[in-house]
């Protein structure tokens, strides 16, 4: 039983992998939206008022991808082992990330 509980930490690999794939998907979606928006703006299909909205939509996808990547790296560091990543990518204390 003890062995099973000790090895259960590797179940976190599933969460890390899923979050990493979601992060990559969000980045790819953000790049796709950016290229699509830039082409639409360059061709003149998008009015000036909506160009900024289209670009903010791209930014939203990339920010979601970044958040998912940080969560994935933090889960790996917390449950599986150490990584050589910048300190800002790790969530060790939730209080550190609250706005004051």
CA distance 65 to 29: 9
Instruction: Judge whether residue 38 has pLDDT over 80.
Output: yes
Residues 6+ apart with CB under 8 A from 57: 33, 37
- pTM, to two decimals: 0.75
CA distance 46 to 21: 31
Please report, for the chain, the start and end positions of each structural domain, with discontinuous segments joined by +.
2-97
Give, as one character, the DSSP assignment of residue 87.
G
Instruction: Judge whether residue 98 has pLDDT over 60.
Output: no
């Amino acid at each position: 039983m003890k062995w099973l509980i000790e090895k259960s930490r590797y179940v976190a690999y599933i969460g890390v992998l899923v979050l990493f794939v979601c992060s990559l998907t969000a980045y790819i979606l953000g790049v796709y939206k950016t290229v699509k928006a830039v082409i639409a703006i360059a061709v003149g299909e998008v009015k000036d008022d909506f160009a900024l909205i289209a670009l903010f939509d791209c930014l939203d996808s990339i920010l979601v991808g970044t958040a998912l990547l940080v969560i994935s790296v933090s889960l790996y560091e917390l449950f599986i082992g150490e990584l050589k990543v910048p300190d800002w990518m790790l969530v060790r204390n939730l209080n550190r990330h609250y706005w004051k």
